[in-house]
Structure 1
Amino acid sequence: MQYLRSLVFIVLMYLVMAVMAICLFPVALIGGRGVAIVICRSFCHWVRFSARWIVGLRTEVRGTVPEGDVLVCAKHQSFMDILMIYSVLPKGKFIMKRELVWTPFVGWYAWLIGCIPVNRGKGGAAVKAMLKAAKKGQEKGGQLVIFPQGTRVAPGAQKPYKVGAGALYSTLKTPAVPVAVNVGLFWPKHAILRKPGLAVVEFLPPIAPGLKVDAFMAEIETQIETRSNMLMAEAGMPIVAELTPKG
């Protein structure tokens, strides 16, 4: 039965996404970034509501949600943590892989809200392009979200933290807010089943600008991984994973 509920939820989610995206796109084009943000946040709230209603997946955002110009460095376990984070940020935008620009609906609104596409296969050139675009985007302000591991990582799995987050922190000279999650326990990568429970996204205390890149990377990895493991343990599924050695 839970599998059937999950299938209904997924179909309904993408149907609502398509209807909202198509019907409201002219409004977003005319209204600009502010209107596009409202539309995207409304969709995120709908998914959070429907997840609780259909599959019994409750969601909770903890900590102090940043409102000014900050860099948000988040753990990424599933599509749901993206939606939960964006549902509460007043002017959020993402560092995203370039392929998503061409994705129907997602790409349209990503462009409108100011997301920064990155070609992950270009190494140093991609980092330089990302920094240039992020610096330019500071003029519009908002909360720039990056996933320091660069991709979704299943609970308990280890994936190195990439230096792109540190480069952004050093270049933008804004506070950085680490974000821990346990969402992957309930919304697994590449799976249909959505499990009931309490999915949590937690904004941790901000890190002031001024640290050296290596020190900053070590700090966000320690904070994000430690707190994410605690959230997963709180959900009844303790995950014990050693942090990636440095040096």
Structure 2
Amino acid sequence: MGLLRKVLAWLSVPVICLFALLFYLARPFNPDNNRYLAWVIARVGRALLGIQCTVSGKDNIPTDRPTVVIANHQHNDDLFILGDLLPRRTVTVGKSSLVWVPFFGQVFWLGGNVIINRGRSTKAVAVMRATANAIREERKSLWVFPEGTRSRGRGLQSFKKGAFHSAVAAGAPITMICVSPYHDKTSGWSGRRESVSIRVLPPVETDGLTSDDIPNLMRDCHEAMQKTIETLPTSS
């Protein structure tokens, strides 16, 4: 039953994106399209998977100014876990291969999201710095998984610099979203998934910081997220 739930959840994504494509074509490159789409995908996906999420600190997400959101990245299912937490006018970062995913890739591109080639890290940093202009001038928020790859629930990995370059260059606060470790565990005959705990930490201000401050900023954010993740309740 758990496998069936997962198949249905992921089959729902291209179907939702197919209908959303009309919305995106009517408002191409409007970053707020992403928030609506992510909300629908997350709610439908969690319902199909039978996942219960408990969120604390949601009021810490700035609503009156752009922010750079960073979150720990565990599985592809993060799309369902975190999708409905996007702030207004949020763009995200994804690898270039996502563009070729049917329907999802097309709306990802039309949403004005940041597409990077992970094999060229220096170029990725340059893209993040350029994104700072969009944060300042177009008042876009940016969502990044700073680990750069999935941990599969094995703990917080080291961070890459891109998100922090963007935040510092734009003078935007960093909002940290911490998710408890989770896996594909199911319970009972219905195949419902384990519950997930999420905590949003108060924003870290970057105004006045320079590139020289980035290593310490990365370290402080990593330590804060690591400590928070360790205190989050796991599955019930």
Specify the TM-score bucket, using the shorter chain as the normaliser: 0.7 to 0.9
* Counterpart in the other structure of 1:71: 68
Q: Distance in 1 between matches of 2:27 and 2:85?
A: 20
Sort the Cα spacing of 1:138 and 1:117 in 2 relative to 1 into closer, same or farther, 3 A: farther
Aligned equivalent of 1:206, options 203, 208, 211? 203
Contact 1:61 1:84 in 2 (8 A): no
Contact 1:36 1:112 in 2 (8 A): no
- Equivalent pairs counted in the alignment come to 221
Of 78-87 and 93-102, deviating more is 78-87
* Counterpart in the other structure of 2:111: 113
Sort the Cα spacing of 1:88 and 1:166 in 2 relative to 1 into closer, same or farther, 3 A: closer
- 1:93 corresponds to 2:87: no
C-alpha displacement at 1:165, in angstroms? 2.5
Map 1:141-220 onto structure 2 (within 5 A).
141-157=139-155, 159-182=157-180, 184-187=181-184, 196-209=193-206, 210-211=208-209, 212-220=213-221
Sort the Cα spacing of 1:214 and 1:235 in 2 relative to 1 into closer, same or farther, 3 A: same
Sort the Cα spacing of 1:6 and 1:223 in 2 relative to 1 into closer, same or farther, 3 A: same
When normalised by structure 1's length, the TM-score is: 0.79
* Counterpart in the other structure of 1:25: 21
Sort the Cα spacing of 1:206 and 1:26 in 2 relative to 1 into closer, same or farther, 3 A: same
* Counterpart in the other structure of 2:188: none
3-state DSSP of counterpart to 1:121 = coil
C-alpha displacement at 1:105, in angstroms? 2.2
Sort the Cα spacing of 1:58 and 1:23 in 2 relative to 1 into closer, same or farther, 3 A: same
Q: Distance in 2 between matches of 1:36 and 1:216?
A: 28
* Counterpart in the other structure of 1:15: 11
3-state DSSP of counterpart to 2:175 = strand
3-state DSSP of counterpart to 2:119 = helix
Contact 1:81 1:201 in 2 (8 A): no
C-alpha displacement at 1:125, in angstroms? 2.5
C-alpha displacement at 1:111, in angstroms? 1.7
Could you give the per-residue CA deviations for residues 22-68 of structure 1, whole angstroms, max 9, x where no partner exists? 2331232113434454233212111122222xxxx211222123323
Sort the Cα spacing of 1:99 and 1:112 in 2 relative to 1 into closer, same or farther, 3 A: same
Q: Distance in 2 between matches of 1:154 and 1:12?
A: 21
When normalised by structure 2's length, the TM-score is: 0.82
Give the unaligned 5+ runs of structure 2. Answer: 186-190
Give the unaligned 5+ runs of structure 1. Answer: 189-193, 238-247
Sort the Cα spacing of 1:27 and 1:195 in 2 relative to 1 into closer, same or farther, 3 A: closer
C-alpha displacement at 1:217, in angstroms? 0.6
